[in-house]
Amino acid sequence: MTLAQIFVAIVVIVPLVLLVLNKIRSDLAALLIALVLGLAHGDIVLLTLALAVSMVSFGTGRTNVLTGLVHVVVFVAYLLLIVVP
C-alpha cells in the first residue's frame, strides 16, 4: 500500500464509516426509545419467564417432559391472568 492510498483511507473512508455508524446508532436509539410494550407488571414477569425457559430448554438442543411441563404451566398462568386479572 502506498502512502497516498493510506491517506485516502484515513481521510475519506474512515469519516464515511463513522457517519454511517452514527446514523445507524441514532436510528436504533430512536427505535428503542419509542418501543413501548404496554404490558402490566405480571405480564412482563410471565414474558421474561417464558423467554428464560425457552432459552434454557431449546438452547441446549435437548428437551424433556419437565421442560415441557414448565412451558405448559407458564401458558396456563398466562391464560388465567387473561380471564381473571
pTM of structure: 0.51
Other CB atoms within a 10 A radius of the CB of residue 49 amount to 15
φ and ψ of 37, to 5 deg? -80, -30
Q: What is the pLDDT along the chain (85 residues), one digit of tens a residue?
A: 666 666 555 666 666 666 666 666 666 666 556 556 777 777 878 888 888 888 888 887 788 888 889 889 988 988 888 888 7
Distance CA 24, CA 16 (A): 12
Q: Please, are residues 50 and 74 in contact by the beta-carbon 8 Å criterion?
A: yes
Q: Given the C-alpha cell 493510506, which residue does it identify?
A: 6
Q: Name the residue type at position 16.
A: L
Q: Where are the domains of the chain?
A: 1-35, 39-85
Distance CA 38, CA 2 (A): 57
